[in-house]
Structure 1
């Protein structure tokens, strides 16, 4: 396809979106000088120090350290600067010279700090000393590491292990994650929720059931070999900016990139490569999406149904002409199950319903489908825009249906590619952080460590929250993250939190979860990934898994922020050793002294994926752990890849009603998960605030509102509970009719704990029923 064909096509959706009135937007490209200025504006002088520049030059490179932000690939053929705007922000956030010392906690009570903004809490800098909550003074006070370990152990030994929850945020290494999961099972439970439960658990459940593996089938090299890419609900500009390099290369070689997203994301429209002197000097942009379809929030099932409908029609026409079939009939016959029922459903679905539910015209959907029909090798990329719905499972199933029709699973340059967010959230699942015992080699671990692992299903995030409300959860250990800020129904859960007997938080910086505590509480500061980890046998390295299932080694070289910090692995081992009875097969001290021994344990538990682990951990680009579905080996109930027949028209899980809107929660480009780096969202044209309600001009007029008016959002969940967030500034923004936008995590109080994907229980943050109170 010629380069001019890759220009952003706005014609196909002009009639579908309001164009009356001015909207807030960013008129520049993603990347470019704006990216560098975005880093400098937040970090000022720290951005210019030689040690920081030296550290960034080692980021995401062999024998360097792996970014603590997203889980994008660390390619063997790396760039000079293998970091993006958000990756640099995450590193600088960790390398800050600011320190949150015991003196700070002596000056401020916990009750006072609970009223501080998230940004202000983290701006206090790195935690430097282990702290214990003192209820008599309402302050955190210093304690020794031994005091912390013994105090935590005393509480854990006094309760039923089934009433404890061990949460993991997604950034801990494979080594730490493996030992954390082992600790939980030696202690006696499988209550191991992690941040995957809040984002891509829908992926793990859907792909596992339908193709036999819970992760994507695409590897990094496939990106250079595909003939077309389709994006659904994923924004590389904010969530994985280094993705823009292969996207730019694909666009330049004429690969059509077709995007479906309720929001016009600048990174999927145009990009200026900060590593290209020519582009930086001339300001010449590379168009990314050749088609951009702003469908309604939750409308992906309908849009994909329409695309499949066109594929069947094109196949009919090819058969009538005697041409080569559009469907890959050989693949379908040999490798799939359930096509007939799915095909009948799609053919029977009228275009009128598809257009109404998707918010797109038939012509727009058919134009996208025609790209799919003509391409030999197709990659479908998606993010939480598909997973975080009541029917997120069906979103992914429909995307998989589309790929199966033309055999685009299990061959080079094609496949399904969920883009994972946190740096090792996928890897944690790989090495045992799972509430589902069937996903863990428990028999093997029983043999390794001489114990009988618990076999009962544990609690995921939503179940842990219900357990807390029901009084069944008595202890919570958080291995990183900001759990209380990330969950739905936050105010309700905060009130119940104080009933717990014990809360433990392992962290680098202060956040709200540390201030909503149990009756006994400990705040344990850990090393960051950029920092040198010295143990008995010398400097240690750790590993993590990227979104393409490759394992990467990481070494930190910076001087730790405080001499009192311990590594995450050492903290986990310290608590475990103090809590558990002696076991000659469980050698916590040896494992802390030499992380290579832990990798040996992982290899023993998972020999097929991790053979020769220590020898391969620094393979340039990482070593691939393997994927049966990529080899067309289907570990499913039928032994084949499954077509799924959708039973609903959209993914929201609620009906439209007068005055009811579909709220989409979003992240700004000045944040990572719940970490807020600044108050700007440059790529959407929003500056200086996050208390905004994004709404299109026509909806503003229809609702009798005005630009700049302060309003409140109310939950419209049908459970009788009052939920409200505000005041929010009405901000005209280009969204489909009936759809609103607001920032995560500020909108979380509007999300009912029961509002989650039916199969995975992933909170449905991307389609929340709300009303506006003026």
Structure 2
């Protein structure tokens, strides 16, 4: 039997000198020009440059340094002095490069010239922009529109996203998947159903007056570190944070503010979470059920006294529907079932309910730990149920707050990047641009992958991103990818997706957001939407990495001009010359949300595009906020079985999405390798595993397919029994394409059924 190993649990706080050291390491490695420091000073400030990392809000009154560790890494990573020129590709075949680690590919630096794939030499070779556009246009004209996918990364700004959506629809398809399909599409579907809005109801100022924050499945220390500032201020004034997460993340435990000299010198951290409950993967439905069950009991007890009611019955009567069914389910669900599925005790959940009961204003924050499950939509619905009980939606200091990932992933949906035609004002676009838009539902990420496997997808255009590496089942997907006629990648740096190509393939280098985008009418600005539905302008000032680079707007327009015949209302040259004209188009298409767009885009703190649910205007089928009655207590799609674990895929501290900045996961105390299998120490003893033992992780979804990731070093870690952890995207081969949220088709990457296989010595 294996000797018990102590679980790795890093106790150093988030922020502090570790954060400074993390930024410095990237600065010294990338060696940007000294002007890059000026970009950091302008970052996330009105009239400056908006970070390309997360979508956290930008305050009206920013700090002197309004950037975080990962935001700085993202900026410095793009402003590197390294260059990936055509000479690099002349020295390496694509087949050879496929064997390189993701990190090594991106560390080659900025792409400098347009390239096309040459099958005879198995290399990307230099081509002119005209050659690339003509070749892409010719290929597109030979393909059926519904056989082509137009994918968009959530990093692209509103202006190019709007033009990209138009281009796909002018071409004749609604095949417009984007990053949200893989992360927060569950939010868009579930919130739209229950409150009538596909996005959160909070604004940044709500964190100044909330009394309690219920926090589910999101790690601000790594994914949105600037969030730690309002969390710290909230705790200092007495707000209580109740955290539900299988992983004990330091970003929700302790924080030293790098902008507070006293904290930095003293090392005295702020303790953040009042309660930290390590719920089982997918156990959030049961956990919230337990909290609601005790709220009912507390409220009943208060009804016998003069204490104020916890449940806002006047709000329920006026603003909600379907409460009775939910109430019956809570009352009839046993504590035994709740404790089993949540992996928490009744006492722990009652303590959480007591925090809720004493709070006047409650905010519910969540991330992909809640959404990336087979029944993730039910998890989101349950969280909304909890808020509705006390009337905590539609007033200041309260509401639901999904934390988005990429900087404009929410905004892209706002301006038409959607495979769902009912979400886009197609009739208005038809009149605005004198064409007949396609009306059929397009492909989201899962459907696009299914089409690739079936051979019905013949072309793939990618506006940024690393699609092939980010998707589930990607070993099967890579094998199918080469059957396509055309692949087009618009990017700043080389990544693995670019090496998985169709018969004709083009790699088109674009400007970074931080670089000066000079067009015919002068330097251009762009804009994006944060998690709080505020629109922010951004202008780059750094010299481009290469004189051959073009902006994403210019590239999209160049492809469109080469594909479509001239049309008097399709003014690609004019739109490229002045992005203000594109913003005028957006305002025409969405007049209520983008009124006076050009005038307001550099307002301090951004301008708010509005949210009816924040004003208790419920755009739902019932005209009210809807309670949902959960049909399951666990959100995972494949239940427990002897020897089965549920895998949580995670990002490291040295990572943003698929971009790997280094091999340090400082906030978890893990260094040097990403090929780790994190395990509860008691589970290691039960399975006879030793620390450092190398094993394989096998898929256990029950569909007969063989899925495996080998070469994982067993590492004791503070996790609930029955689950294991590993890094994304390395663990993606274990996620079946069909294993996704029932309603939104978001891949269920936070509760993947797996088994551990020992390696024969």
Give the shorter-chain TM-score range: over 0.9
Task: Quote the residue 2:502 is aligned against.
Answer: 518
Looking at structure 1, the residues matched to 26 and 417 of structure 2 have their Cα atoms a distance apart, in angstroms, of 34
SS of corresponding position for 1:572: helix
SS of corresponding position for 1:320: coil
Task: Quote the residue 1:86 is aligned against.
Answer: 70
SS of corresponding position for 1:321: coil
Q: 1:20 offset after TM fit, Å?
A: 6.3
Q: Say yes or no: does 1:66 pair with 2:28.
A: no
Q: Say yes or no: does 1:694 pair with 2:681.
A: no
Task: Quote the residue 2:735 is aligned against.
Answer: 751
Q: 1:321 offset after TM fit, Å?
A: 2.6
Task: Quote the residue 2:320 is aligned against.
Answer: 336
Within 5 Å, give how 1:386-405 maps onto structure 2. 386-405=370-389
SS of corresponding position for 2:365: strand
Task: Quote the residue 1:5 is aligned against.
Answer: none
Looking at structure 2, the residues matched to 480 and 340 of structure 1 have their Cα atoms a distance apart, in angstroms, of 47
Within 5 Å, give how 1:349-368 maps onto structure 2. 349-368=333-352
Looking at structure 1, the residues matched to 32 and 560 of structure 2 have their Cα atoms a distance apart, in angstroms, of 41
Q: Does the 8 A contact of 2:32 with 2:81 survive in 1?
A: no
Task: Quote the residue 2:368 is aligned against.
Answer: 384
Looking at structure 2, the residues matched to 101 and 159 of structure 1 have their Cα atoms a distance apart, in angstroms, of 31
Instruction: Using structure 2 for the length normalisation, give the TM-score.
Output: 0.99
Task: Quote the residue 1:289 is aligned against.
Answer: 273
Q: Does the 8 A contact of 1:39 with 1:47 survive in 2?
A: no
Q: 1:389 offset after TM fit, Å?
A: 0.2
SS of corresponding position for 1:25: coil
Q: 1:44 offset after TM fit, Å?
A: 1.4
Residue by residue, what CA displacement relative to the aligned partner does 1:534-573 show, whole Å, maximum 9, x if unpaired?
A: 0010000000000000000000000000000000010000
Task: Quote the residue 1:655 is aligned against.
Answer: 639
SS of corresponding position for 2:490: strand
Q: 1:48 offset after TM fit, Å?
A: 8.4
Looking at structure 1, the residues matched to 29 and 72 of structure 2 have their Cα atoms a distance apart, in angstroms, of 14
2:357 paired residue among 356, 369, 373: 373
Q: 1:39 offset after TM fit, Å?
A: 1.6
Q: Say yes or no: does 1:302 pair with 2:286.
A: yes
Within 5 Å, give how 1:305-316 maps onto structure 2. 305-316=289-300
Deviates more, 1:284-293 or 1:309-318: 309-318
2:19 paired residue among 35, 41, 64: 35
Looking at structure 2, the residues matched to 487 and 46 of structure 1 have their Cα atoms a distance apart, in angstroms, of 28
1:491 paired residue among 475, 486, 493: 475
SS of corresponding position for 1:609: coil
Q: 1:42 offset after TM fit, Å?
A: 3.2
* Equivalenced residues, count: 756
Looking at structure 1, the residues matched to 30 and 258 of structure 2 have their Cα atoms a distance apart, in angstroms, of 20
Q: Does the 8 A contact of 1:40 with 1:47 survive in 2?
A: no
SS of corresponding position for 1:488: coil
Task: Quote the residue 2:172 is aligned against.
Answer: 188
Q: 1:655 offset after TM fit, Å?
A: 1.3
Looking at structure 1, the residues matched to 38 and 602 of structure 2 have their Cα atoms a distance apart, in angstroms, of 20
Q: 1:49 offset after TM fit, Å?
A: 5.5
Looking at structure 1, the residues matched to 500 and 657 of structure 2 have their Cα atoms a distance apart, in angstroms, of 19
Residue by residue, what CA displacement relative to the aligned partner does 1:77-109 show, whole Å, maximum 9, x if unpaired?
A: 000000000000000000000000000010100
Looking at structure 2, the residues matched to 48 and 366 of structure 1 have their Cα atoms a distance apart, in angstroms, of 52
Q: Does the 8 A contact of 1:47 with 1:53 survive in 2?
A: no
Looking at structure 2, the residues matched to 548 and 500 of structure 1 have their Cα atoms a distance apart, in angstroms, of 39
SS of corresponding position for 1:234: coil
SS of corresponding position for 2:670: coil
1:55 paired residue among 33, 39, 47: 39
Q: 1:76 offset after TM fit, Å?
A: 1.1
Q: 1:319 offset after TM fit, Å?
A: 1.6
1:503 paired residue among 487, 502, 521: 487
Q: 1:27 offset after TM fit, Å?
A: 2.2
Residue by residue, what CA displacement relative to the aligned partner does 1:677-729 show, whole Å, maximum 9, x if unpaired?
A: 00110000000000000001100000011111000000001110000001100
SS of corresponding position for 1:698: helix
1:577 paired residue among 551, 555, 561: 561
Within 5 Å, give how 1:89-100 maps onto structure 2. 89-100=73-84
Within 5 Å, give how 1:674-713 maps onto structure 2. 674-713=658-697
Task: Quote the residue 2:103 is aligned against.
Answer: 119
Task: Quote the residue 2:714 is aligned against.
Answer: 730
Q: Say yes or no: does 1:174 pair with 2:158.
A: yes
Task: Quote the residue 2:540 is aligned against.
Answer: 556
Q: 1:74 offset after TM fit, Å?
A: 1.0
Task: Quote the residue 2:701 is aligned against.
Answer: 717
Task: Quote the residue 2:395 is aligned against.
Answer: 411
Looking at structure 2, the residues matched to 67 and 552 of structure 1 have their Cα atoms a distance apart, in angstroms, of 11
Within 5 Å, give how 1:535-684 maps onto structure 2. 535-684=519-668
Within 5 Å, give how 1:150-169 maps onto structure 2. 150-169=134-153
Q: Say yes or no: does 1:474 pair with 2:435.
A: no
Q: Does the 8 A contact of 1:435 with 1:458 survive in 2?
A: yes
Q: Say yes or no: does 1:267 pair with 2:227.
A: no
Task: Quote the residue 2:428 is aligned against.
Answer: 444
Q: Does the 8 A contact of 1:74 with 1:622 survive in 2?
A: yes
Q: Residues 233, 540 of structure 1: CA spacing in aligned structure 2 closer, same or farther, 3 A cutoff?
A: same
Task: Quote the residue 1:12 is aligned against.
Answer: none
Q: 1:320 offset after TM fit, Å?
A: 2.5
SS of corresponding position for 1:316: helix
Task: Quote the residue 2:116 is aligned against.
Answer: 132
Q: Say yes or no: does 1:773 pair with 2:757.
A: yes
Q: Does the 8 A contact of 1:229 with 1:378 survive in 2?
A: yes
* RMSD of aligned Cα (Å): 1.0
Q: Say yes or no: does 1:242 pair with 2:226.
A: yes
Q: 1:254 offset after TM fit, Å?
A: 1.1
1:454 paired residue among 434, 438, 441: 438
SS of corresponding position for 1:607: coil
Task: Quote the residue 2:60 is aligned against.
Answer: 76
Q: 1:581 offset after TM fit, Å?
A: 1.8
Residue by residue, what CA displacement relative to the aligned partner does 1:557-598 show, whole Å, maximum 9, x if unpaired?
A: 000000000000100000011101221011000000000000
Q: Does the 8 A contact of 1:218 with 1:414 survive in 2?
A: yes
Looking at structure 2, the residues matched to 50 and 283 of structure 1 have their Cα atoms a distance apart, in angstroms, of 30
Q: 1:41 offset after TM fit, Å?
A: 2.3
SS of corresponding position for 2:447: helix
Q: Residues 589, 424 of structure 1: CA spacing in aligned structure 2 closer, same or farther, 3 A cutoff?
A: same
Q: 1:21 offset after TM fit, Å?
A: 3.7
Q: Does the 8 A contact of 1:25 with 1:686 survive in 2?
A: no
Give unpaired runs (5+ residues) of structure 1.
Answer: 1-18
Q: Does the 8 A contact of 1:423 with 1:546 survive in 2?
A: yes
Looking at structure 2, the residues matched to 615 and 762 of structure 1 have their Cα atoms a distance apart, in angstroms, of 37
Q: Residues 308, 47 of structure 1: CA spacing in aligned structure 2 closer, same or farther, 3 A cutoff?
A: farther
Looking at structure 1, the residues matched to 8 and 80 of structure 2 have their Cα atoms a distance apart, in angstroms, of 32
Looking at structure 2, the residues matched to 697 and 615 of structure 1 have their Cα atoms a distance apart, in angstroms, of 58
Residue by residue, what CA displacement relative to the aligned partner does 1:30-69 show, whole Å, maximum 9, x if unpaired?
A: 0000001112223316568532221110111111110000
Task: Quote the residue 2:261 is aligned against.
Answer: 277
2:309 paired residue among 316, 320, 325: 325
Residue by residue, what CA displacement relative to the aligned partner does 1:226-245 show, whole Å, maximum 9, x if unpaired?
A: 11111000110011000000
